[in-house]
Amino acid sequence: MTPAHASDLTAQVCDLAPVIPVLVVKDAAHATPLATALIAGGLPALEVTLRTPAALDVIREMAQVDGGVVGAGTLLTEQDVINAKEAGASFGVSPGATDRLLDACEANDLPLLAGAATASEAMALLARGYTVAKFFPAEANGGAKALKAIGAPIPQVSFCPTGGVSLANARDYLSLPNVRCVGGSWVAPSDKVETGDWDGITALAAEASNLPR
């Protein structure tokens, strides 16, 4: 898969809704009701981070839920890419970008939303042909103000800011011309997941899906 094709596909994923839930799921039994609750609230694009032993099983389960588009987050290595693809992930997300990771995603036909935190990192992705990236960690890097400043000289790259984004500051990002959507864990808090408060998660998702952009 070429970087241009990968960027078209990740742009489509980002354009599905204002927020991509970032999910850390410990128990694969939670996968189907969690995905169902988020999709019901209007958030179909889901990022399952590879940070728990259950993550690949969670992706397998969620990939079967109607109406969802499931990606694998926290991709660091070529093996992560292979595992994500095999589990049925439609896209990948990484905190940063290395040539090895980009090579692996291109070779395995997994569109990658690669992380960039600086103008140089955005330029490096653009030079390779990527025009969509994750701005990470968004708040720690100066937030919407910093991303707006990066967008002035590099308008060709659009972003999904993630890391410290919440309902309180999501609008600041979503109002920028170089932001397609934001990512965040606030729509699926662990207490609600672990107690099975699926209606509560649908309510959080509905609030997020109604954010203007």
Catalytically active residues are: 47, 134
Does position 158 bind ligand 3PG by CB under 6 A? no
DSSP 28-75: GGGHHHHHHHHHHTT--EEEEES-STTHHHHHHHHTTSTT-EEEEE--
Binding region for ligand 3PG (CB under 6 A) out of 11-19, 54-62, 76-84, 181-189: 181-189
User: What is the C-alpha radius of gyration for the chain, rounded to an integer number of angstroms?
Assistant: 16
Contacting ligand 3PG (CB under 6 A), which of 36, 162, 178, 202? Answer: 162
Q: Rounded to an integer, what is the distance from CA 103 to the centroid of its chain? A: 19
Does position 165 bind ligand 3PG by CB under 6 A? yes
Task: List the structure tokens of 84.
Answer: 């994500």
Binding region for ligand 3PG (CB under 6 A) out of 11-19, 58-66, 156-164, 198-206: 156-164
| Least distance from ligand 3PG to the Cβ atom of residue 22, Å | 4
Binding region for ligand 3PG (CB under 6 A) out of 2-10, 99-107, 159-167, 204-212: 159-167
Task: List the structure tokens of 102.
Answer: 């980009």
DSSP 114: -
Per-position b or e across 164-187, b if 16+ CB within 10 A of its CB: bbeeebbebbbebebbbbbbbbbb
Taking a C-beta distance cutoff of 8 angstroms, is the pair 92, 112 a contact? yes
The residue number with the shortest CB distance to ligand 3PG is 185
Restricting to residues 108-127, name those near ligand 3PG by CB under 6 A. none
Contacting ligand 3PG (CB under 6 A), which of 164, 171, 200, 207? Answer: 164
Restricting to residues 7-36, name those near ligand 3PG by CB under 6 A. 22
Please give the order of strands across the beta sheet that includes 19-23. 112-113, 91-93, 69-73, 45-49, 19-23, 182-184
Taking a C-beta distance cutoff of 8 angstroms, is the pair 46, 71 a contact? yes
CB nearer to ligand 3PG: pick between 151 and 184: 184
CB nearer to ligand 3PG: pick between 129 and 213: 213
Q: What character string, x for contact with ligand 3PG (CB under 6 A) and - otherwise, covers 135-154?
A: -x------------------
Binding region for ligand 3PG (CB under 6 A) out of 11-19, 81-89, 104-112, 158-166: 158-166
Give the Å distances, CA to CA, from 179 to 10, 16, 18, 175: 13, 13, 10, 7
Task: Give the binding site for ligand 3PG (CB under 6 A).
Answer: 22, 136, 162-165, 184-186
